Chain A
C-alpha cells in the first residue's frame, strides 16, 4: 500500500532515495539541503537502509565518491545546494563525460558572494552546461516522483540527472504527498545492472588524454575522439526527452500520477497570455491566473517547465506559438544579458512565423519575497501593454521587488 504523509520536502526526497535503494550516498551538508542528508545518514545508521554513507570533507569529494561508486556498478546518490554545487562543478563535467547514471538533488539556493542561504535558481543555472539533465519539481509529490523517475532515466541513458527543488519554499515546508509502496518501486526501478564496470580482471584506462581524432586502439577497435564523445552526449541528451516521456507514462500506469513530464500547463487551453516558470513559483501563479481571469477577464495560463536540460525546444514552441504574449518569470539570469530561460525560449520561438511578444521578469533572488500581488500586477500590466514597447526595451528584464 502506498502511504499518505505530511512532511517536509527534504524528508520527501530522503524517502524517495530510500525507496530507490541507492547503495552509496556521499554528501556534505549545506543549507538548505542538510536535513535531506541528515535523514539519509539517520536511516542508514539505524539499519533501515542498506547503503554505505560516506562522510566526506567537501562537495567535490562527495561527487568524486559517487563517480567511483557508479563506475564500479553501484547506484549512488548525492545532494547539495548553492556554493556546494559550484564546488562540485569540475566533477559535474566529469560525471557527465564519463556517462555515469548518478542522481543528485539540488535544493536551490542563491550563490555567494554575498552569502545568502535563501532560495533562487542561480546555482542550477550556473551549472546548466555541464552535461547533466536538469529537472525542476514544483511540490513535494513531484520531488518524490521525479527522484524515482530520475534514477530510471539516468540508468537508461547513462547521463546524470539533477533533481532541483526550491530551498525553504519546498525543502522546509510541510505538504501532503503520497509515498509509493516499496515493492512497486522495486518493479519500476529494478536493481542497477551496469554492464560496463571497473573490473580488475580486465584493466582499462578511463578518460585518459583523448585525442582530437578517433583512432584504432591496440586491439584494432575504433575508439571515438573527444569531439565524437561530446557530440554523442549532446545527441543522446536530446533523445533522453523521449525516454523521459516513456518513463513517465510507465510511472503513471503503476502509480496513477504523471502525464506532464515536460510541460505542465494550468488553464492554458484557451490562453492568450502564458506565464512560463520553473519550480514552486509556477504553482504560486495558479491563484494569479485564476484572479486575472475572474477579475480582469484576461485569458491567462501558466506553463511550468519541468525539464530544463535537455531543453524541450519544439514542444515549448508548439505550446506557445499561438499565444499573444508570453511572460517568463525566473529566479536567475545571465549577467550582462537576460534571464537564461527567457533567452532559451526566445531562441526556440524564432523559427515560427507567429511569435508571441515576450516579457522577462527577474524575481526572488536570494530569497527576496515574492508577493502574489506583485505577480498579479506585473502580469496584468504585461498582458495589457501588448507589444507596444520598443524591441530593446521589451527585451530588457524587469526586476520585481527592487528596494533600492
Chain B
C-alpha cells in the first residue's frame, strides 16, 4: 500500500540494522570457536561454555548480579510507580519542580557522577560497601526509568474509571488496588523488566559502590576484558544476551498475541 517506501528507505533500514546487529552476531558466532583466538575461525566447539560453568568466581558474580537485579528492580518499581503517581496526580505541591528534576536528571546523568556521588555518600555515613550498597545505588537510578515508563501510561489513564469505582462505593485505597493498579499493570511489569536489565548491565555505578564479596558479572567481565579478548567472555556475553533477548521477545510476543486477540474481539463485537 505504501508506494512511497522507496529503495532508499529500505536500504537505510537494512544497513542500519546490519550495523546494529552484526557485531553482536559475530560475538555470538565466535563464542563457539574452537580456537583460543577470537578472530580466527577454526571449528565449532562448546568447550568455552563448559569451562564457564566450572569457573566458580564467574558463577558467583552471576549469582550476585541476579540477586541485586531482582531486589533492586522490585524496589525501583515500587518507588518509581509512586513517583509517577506523584507527578501525574498531584499537579501542584511544594517542591514539585525539584522533584520532577530529580526524577528526570538521572536518565541523562553520566554514570561516573552518579556512581561517585553515591559512593561518597556511603563513605560519609559509614555504610560498609557491598551487596547492600550496590542494590541501593541500582534502586536509585533505575527507579527514575520506571517512573518515566509508568508515567507515560498514567497520562493516558481514564480518570473516570477511578471515579466510577468510588461512585460505586469503593474507598480511594480500594479503588487504587482494584482499579488503578490492575489497569496500569502492564506498564509496571515492563518498568520492572527495564529496571532489572539496567541493573544486570551496569558496570560503572556498580564499580563505584560495590565492595569486597559483591562483584557483579559486568565487573567481572570488565576486569577480564582488560586482560584481553577471550572466547570465554564471548560465551558469557552470549548467555547474557540470550537471557535478556529471550525475556524481551517473550514479553513482546505475549503483548502481540494479546493485541491481535483484542483486535479480533473488537471486530467480532462490531459485527455481532
Q: Is chain B a partner of chain A in the same complex?
A: no
Using a CB–CB distance below 8 Å, which chain A residues touch chain B? none
